[in-house]
Every structure is written in C-alpha cells, then in structure tokens.
C-alpha cells in the first residue's frame, strides 16, 4: 500500500474522545459555574449562594463539570485561532466538533471522531501564536498532552489495523 493511501486510511480511523480524560485543574469558582444544573434552581437542598459547596450531590456531577470546561477551552482556542473568520474546510471540521460538544448537556462525555479531527484540534492547541485567557493556560497544556497521547495511540492502532 502506498504512503498516500495509508495516510488517508489513518486519517479516517475513529478515535474515542473522552472529555473527562484531560487532566484539568478546575478552580472551585469554575466548578460552581460549570456545575449549575437547571433542576438545582428549584432544589430544596441546594443553596446556590454557597457556590460549589451549596450544590447537593444530586446536582453536582464532576464529569459534567470537566466536560463543560473542555468545551469552553475548545471554543476559546478556535475563537482565538480564527478571529471570527473561518474558511469552509476548517468550518466543516469545527461544525462536527460543535455537534459532538452539544451532547455534553445530555450527559454524553464520550464520542468517536475521525483521527484527522483530533489532529486538527491538536494543531490549534499547540500553536504558540494563539493567545487564550491566562486562566485557561493549565487547561490548554492538559489538553495538549491528552491530544498528543490520543494521536500517538490512534496512529499505532491504525497501523496495526491496516
């Protein structure tokens, strides 16, 4: 098999992306911000004035908090990379990301994506010329490490399959 064909097949290899896997340090204030469950507003045991500590166990899901933080990070990196203007090719890839990320609020934190979609995000996260808010620096580094590991594993697996 030629190198070009191998690359095309590898790019289409599906990769399991788990939004709870990147190692993020999430501040208590962010835990509260991203934890708000619509039902907690009417909950008799939740006290939203106490922040994260005021949410009852039924309305605090750490995996959902992490997934929402990853969604914000991806959105911020893409916004900074494209400054409001995105070509059609990048738009198609990001549109697929948006569709997958929209599932978060339905408690879906894992989905399958083509390897090329993961590579696309990895290239953006790794670019030094893309500036994000300082508070997202640790999240960005955690995401970069996670994406590198995903790509390495997926390329190894795809090589074994072909």
Domain ranges across the chain = 3-25+63-161
SS3 127: coil
Reply yes or no on whether the pLDDT at 112 is more than 50: yes
Q: Tell me if the pTM is above 0.85.
A: no
Q: How many CB atoms lie within 10 A of CB 120?
A: 19
117 CB-side CA count, 13 A: 21
The pLDDT score that the predictor gives to residue 36 is 63
Q: For residues 24, 27, 29 and 30, what is the CA-based torsion angle, rounded to 10 degrees?
A: -10
What's the CA gap between 61 and 94, in Å, rounded? Answer: 26
pLDDT digits (tens, 9 = 90+) for 120-142: 999 999 999 999 999 899 999 99
Q: At what angle do helices 88-101 and 115-126 cross, to 10 degrees?
A: 100
């Amino acid at each position: 098999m030629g190198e070009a064909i191998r690359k095309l097949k590898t790019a289409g290899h599906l990769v399991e992306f788990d939004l709870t896997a990147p190692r993020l340090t999430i501040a208590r204030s962010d835990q509260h911000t991203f934890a708000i469950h619509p039902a907690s507003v009417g909950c008799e045991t939740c006290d939203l004035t106490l922040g994260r500590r005021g949410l009852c166990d039924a309305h605090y899901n750490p995996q959902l908090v992490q997934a929402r933080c990853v969604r914000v990070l991806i959105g911020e990196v893409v916004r900074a990379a494209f400054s409001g203007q995105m070509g059609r090719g990048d738009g198609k890839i990001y549109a697929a990301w948006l569709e997958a990320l929209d599932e978060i609020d339905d408690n879906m934190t894992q989905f399958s994506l083509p390897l090329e979609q993961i590579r696309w995000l990895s290239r953006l996260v790794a670019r030094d010329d893309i500036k994000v808010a300082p508070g997202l620096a640790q999240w960005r580094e955690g995401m970069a490490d996670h994406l590198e590991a995903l790509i390495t594993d997926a390329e190894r697996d795809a090589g074994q399959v072909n």
